Structure 1
Amino acid sequence: MTSPPPITQHDTAEPSKFGAECRDESLQRHDVETAEPSISVRSESPGLGDNSNVPRLSLLKLFWFFFYNFGLFAWGGPVAQIALIKDKLVVQDKWITLARFQRVFAVYQVLPGPEAAELCMFFGCLSAGRIGGILAGIAFILPGFALMLLASYLYTLAGFENIYFNASFRALQPVVAAMVLRATHKIAEHSVRKHDTAKVDPFLVLFAICTAINGALRINIFISLGLYGIIYAFIARRLWIPAGVLFILQYVGYALYVVFHGVPLPVSLALGIAKTPSLINLFVLGLVAGSLSFGGAYTAIPFVQVEAVLMGGWLPQSVFIDGIAIGNILPAPLVIFATFVGFQGAYGQDGSLGNAFAGAVIITLGMFFPCFVFTIAGHEVLEKLVHNKFLSSFFDGLCGSVIGVIAIIAVQILKAGVEGPVDKLRSKPLDEVISGVVQVGPAAVLFMLALGALYKFTNKYTALVMVVIAAVAGQFLFVD
């Protein structure tokens, strides 16, 4: 494969109006900073000016540029993907200043959706307007989507009863549990800190813990997210009384509910938007998960898991975890696991491959639709919204609560990954029951080793290497 042609600022293609506006605004800001430092934008926000060095690319060249440089090499998860984009477009090619990049990235950290895809769309908008942003996003997502479609098909083709196939994925499940648990810690390190001092905010830590407790009490996670966002908005304005009243009322309300209706059922954690894996339900499931995926893909995992595994019951927990494992090793945003969920769910409904591919496509469209809308709508508008004092503190409280949501799913996946299908062996012959119970020990060891490796090694290919090792180890550990 040949490398893309060198990029210059004098590419003959004209940018769209949106791209031109972005550059014009950047040029004006740069001129002000250069000509009159005493009254410049830097006096309020040091270093936030744009370099005005964004090349004008034709749509075809833009698509190829993002496909070749980022889409094909998006290995290692969101941290590695964002570092790749930053190194290429900010450090090497200097499309914008580093300070400007940090502010842009801060906006997308607060908004739902995979930040790496949103950054590609942002840079695409700067170069060739809104159409350019859409094409840049598609170019980044397309390789991983195609590979996940292929993996979903091969997963189905191998058959759920193949002992060698099942052995590898049985070993992968505790490794995935370790990945999610490590990701919970990583996200928490940033989500519970104050922006101005970078110190841990005890209120955000409390919200994370209470959200996890609320999950154990079977209080709907959407209630916790919205409630703690509002409470923190009050706290940020030192409105202690309304914040305290709301905090207490959540548990008073829960106690009254238990008195009159009993303890909520496990399905109360779900909205019930995908009781069956029909195409319309899959699209809505992807849309809701994508709209509420604050903190990236690891926040989308609980929403999909609750609806598909817990409420709908049309996807086994073990298959769901396998989809996350596959998503971890592909060059794509981790939310691409939704493609696998849509494929397996639709295929399980009627056994039709055509329906399976349609389900995979439709849930993926729903998952990525919100981030495309937010980004293409215009970054300047988003910045104004995010920097609104009330909305900013609301999002901070919500992001703190998100840690509790991710912790819930981390524990659930850990339990399922280590225990395996033990709960399904009650009606099985004694030898199968013994075999299933014996597998718990090796799975627990795999989990501990994987967790230790994730803390020890931070290379972007660590997850890929671990998955390969686990797949091979499974043949020795779980094949009779």
Structure 2
Amino acid sequence: MTDAVLGPPAREPGAAALRPSPVTLSEALPVWARIAALSFGGPAGQIAVMHRILVEERRWVSESRFLHALNFCTLLPGPEAQQLATYIGWLMHGTRGGLVAGGLFVAPGLLAIMALSWIYVLLGQVAAVSGLFFGLKAAVLAIVAQAVLRIGRKALKSRVMVVLAAASFVAIFVLDVPFPLIVLGAGAIGYLGGRAGLPQFEAGGHGAAAEDGGPYLLGDDALPQEQAAHGHVLRVLGLWGSVWLAPVALVLALLGPGDVFAQIALFFSQMAMVTFGGAYAVLAYVAQQAVDHYGWLKPGEMLDGLGLAETTPGPLIMVTQFVGFLAAYRSPGSLPPLLAATLGGLLTTWVTFAPCFLWIFLGAPYIERLRGNRALAAALAAVTAAVVGVILNLAVWFALHTIFAELRPAAAGPIRIDVPVWSSLDPFALGLACAALAAVFRFRAGMIATLAASAAAGLLLRLAGLI
């Protein structure tokens, strides 16, 4: 098997002159590194960067091929932008190409979050650093609120979808229903609605394909470098299942299920299997479990971690590395705390992203069978609608823990909610949050500008002794 990508036959005389030259894996590597370095702004921004570079600039894949790959990735658990990079890398250069593209997509965020996590635990109580994080929390609230509206506009196209979103919010915020059950329930409802042909469950695409402006290396009729041979499923499951789960089994065998490393390995492996709907959707569940169940970190620290992830390249789900870092830092066992924290963060990232390669390498050869499947499209649309409610829960949860210093749990039958203590309201946090919301929604400020301005405001408040 060669590393070069061969494009489809020329469609008309003279078209071959416009076709890009074949690309080797070594030639593709700096392009994937460039995409990784520019992968700010969450999945929407990351996908836009890939589209601009791969489709418009390099003309490596056609518009329809890119969108088909994206639709496939939205069906999978895990960060769809990272999986899209892995898929296109696999499409061009097989397994090695998928590893390069998907691995590089994660690497900048891994290194940045690790460095910032060290700074956080070593200098987090320094006035300047704590002021910066105080300001970041306000910006994060605005960004999450923007995500609710952005996804809601695309997902809630019918009353049924609005009801699903509302029901998911009530289920997770009021009734404390586990996130995986919400995803499974919404998917089942959508699948049945699609099978029944109900128009309320029809799913829209990610956008209409543009007119073909010329030949691509991989057009609609080009075959991938690798195709499924006999025994493909068993080979991929055996290899990548071992890559993912062997470290988990080793940790359990050596340390036992009660150790923090075993808890990290098991919990984030579970998350890797149910993270449908993107990072914002699952972070509400991760935050609740990490803060309330395991006690790994405080609510404000979860906001700090999300602020770090928002300001660094790579998938937003990289915030889980920060969670694993703090969890191991506070329960290091016999290891030095910083060494334990580093290992905890790396273990979290491993079990979060290793399954992403498994899903792509296992399913990519069969994706053509998914094209046009109405029931699966309806299931995805229903899950996306439910995700809107889950993200709204995340926004409310973060807002309560940012603006109020104290919350009091309240229960009545199956209802379980945290009620704010109004006397603990922080006026500076409220003011910064309102300013960030105005910047995002009124003045259309970008994410980086909003984060930078909020962090600077927090620093000034801290240095002035007001917080």
TM-score relative to the length of structure 2: 0.75
2:176, 2:107 → 1: CA distance? 37
Q: Deviations over 1:361-391 (max 9, x none)?
A: 1111111123222222353423534643333
Question: Residue 432 of structure 2 contacts residue 454 of structure 2 at CA under 8 Å; is this kept in 1?
Answer: no
Question: Residue 128 of structure 2 contacts residue 463 of structure 2 at CA under 8 Å; is this kept in 1?
Answer: no
| Mapping 1:256-295, distance limit 5 Å | 278-295=260-277
- 1:99 pairs with 2:61: no
Could you list the structure 1 runs, at least 4 aligned residues long, displaced by more than 6 angstroms after superposition.
273-277
1:477, 1:206 → 2: CA distance? 47
Change in Cα spacing, 1:411 to 1:118, as seen in structure 2 (3 Å) is same
- 1:14 pairs with 2:2: yes
Quick one: which of 209, 215, 219 aligns to 2:166? 209
SS at match of 1:294: coil
Aligned to 2:224: none
2:310, 2:450 → 1: CA distance? 7
- 1:57 pairs with 2:44: no
Change in Cα spacing, 1:75 to 1:239, as seen in structure 2 (3 Å) is closer
Report how far residue 209 of structure 1 moved. Answer: 0.1
| Mapping 1:27-176, distance limit 5 Å | 27=8, 55-58=22-25, 60-67=26-33, 69-159=34-124, 161-176=125-140
The aligned length equals 390
Aligned to 1:221: 179
Identity of aligned residues (%): 24
1:336, 1:442 → 2: CA distance? 29
Question: Residue 320 of structure 2 contacts residue 348 of structure 2 at CA under 8 Å; is this kept in 1?
Answer: yes
Aligned to 1:235: 193
In structure 1, stretches of 5+ residues that fail to align are 1-12, 36-50, 193-199, 244-272, 425-435
Question: Residue 178 of structure 1 contacts residue 414 of structure 1 at CA under 8 Å; is this kept in 2?
Answer: no
- 1:469 pairs with 2:456: yes
Question: Which 10-residue stretch deviates more, 448-457 or 139-148?
Answer: 448-457
Change in Cα spacing, 1:221 to 1:439, as seen in structure 2 (3 Å) is closer
In structure 2, stretches of 5+ residues that fail to align are 202-251, 409-421
1:224, 1:384 → 2: CA distance? 27
2:368, 2:298 → 1: CA distance? 41
1:219, 1:209 → 2: CA distance? 14
Report how far residue 300 of structure 1 moved. Answer: 2.5
Paired amino acid for 1:213: V
Question: Residue 134 of structure 2 contacts residue 455 of structure 2 at CA under 8 Å; is this kept in 1?
Answer: no
Q: Deviations over 1:105-140 (max 9, x none)?
A: 222233222232222212221332111111111112
SS at match of 1:461: helix
Report how far residue 321 of structure 1 moved. Answer: 0.9
Report how far residue 333 of structure 1 moved. Answer: 1.3
SS at match of 2:186: helix
Report how far residue 54 of structure 1 moved. Answer: 7.7
2:186, 2:280 → 1: CA distance? 19
Report how far residue 148 of structure 1 moved. Answer: 0.6
1:280, 1:291 → 2: CA distance? 17
2:311, 2:177 → 1: CA distance? 33
Paired amino acid for 1:181: A
Change in Cα spacing, 1:126 to 1:217, as seen in structure 2 (3 Å) is closer
Question: Residue 145 of structure 1 contacts residue 336 of structure 1 at CA under 8 Å; is this kept in 2?
Answer: yes
SS at match of 2:331: helix
2:310, 2:186 → 1: CA distance? 30
Q: Would you tell me which structure has more helix in proportion to its own residues?
A: 1
Structure number with greater CO (CA < 8 Å, separation at least 6) is 2
Aligned to 2:206: none
Report how far residue 471 of structure 1 moved. Answer: 3.9
Q: Deviations over 1:53-90 (max 9, x none)?
A: 583313x44333311x1122223332222222111111
Quick one: which of 357, 381, 403 aligns to 1:396? 381
CA root-mean-square deviation: 3.1
